[in-house]
Amino acid sequence: MVGKNIIAHRGIFDNKKIPENSLSAIKKALNLGYSIEIDVQLTKDNKIVVFHDYTLERMTKEKGFVQEIEYSKLKSITLLDTKEIIPTLNDVLKLVDNKVLLDIEIKNTKRIKDTCNTLMRDLENYNNYILKSFNPKIVHFLKRFYPNVKVGLLLKKNYSNKIISSLMRSNFILKYCKPDFLAISKSLAKTKKYQKLSKKYPTMIWTIESDDDTSCDDFIYICNIRPKKN
């Protein structure tokens, strides 16, 4: 896994004509041969959908929590001012068809068992992917029940309070969830602690704004890639 590799963060989008995490954004990244990062969560009726936010407000004209709504309603909602709809993970898997790596972030949830088991059923006949989450309980569950799957722990600089921040950066968390790799924010990448950890764990950095940034060739990059202007 180690080495420079561009991953299109939520696909290639502009959130005008091409919404993030939409099939159009994913197709654009696929056509350029980039690996693709997507976000997934479980709907009320147990469908894995590709959507970043916990609520609908920013990306649609509707309101409500994605995880509390049935997909039969979600699929009628368009993204921003486009005709794109919220795709299911199966829609994305069919489109990408193992052609590039899918980097799948599992959003936080109280339904860890249902989310992970449903996700793994969707991925049963798929092989070109890795998983990651900010929630160490999700990483722990997957490594316990699906030990052969590559799962990473996401880490950031700022958490809701100092106790959580300290805990998330402790060796205890790493021993607890046993991640295969770390995915850390750019602000943590040059700290001594994470430079040391990068020698033990394959490490991805998010989010680099340009694919010309090659300051850390030992890392895999997750890049915010925007459509190039003609």
**Catalytic residue set:** 9, 52
Pairwise CA distance, residues 160 & 149, whole Å: 29
Tell me which residue has tokens 């001012």.
Answer: 81
Pairwise CA distance, residues 138 & 109, whole Å: 9
Pairwise CA distance, residues 117 & 123, whole Å: 10
Q: Which residues pair with 35 in a beta bridge?
A: 7
Please, which residues have CB within 8 angstroms of residue 81's CB and are 6 or more apart in sequence? 16
- Residue count of the chain: 230
Number of H helices and E strands in the chain, helices first, is 8, 9
Q: 175 — alpha (psi -120 to 50), left (phi > 0) or beta?
A: alpha
| Class of residue 195 by CB neighbours under 10 A (exposed 0-12, middle 13-18, buried 19+) | middle
Tell me which residue has tokens 């790493």.
Answer: 174
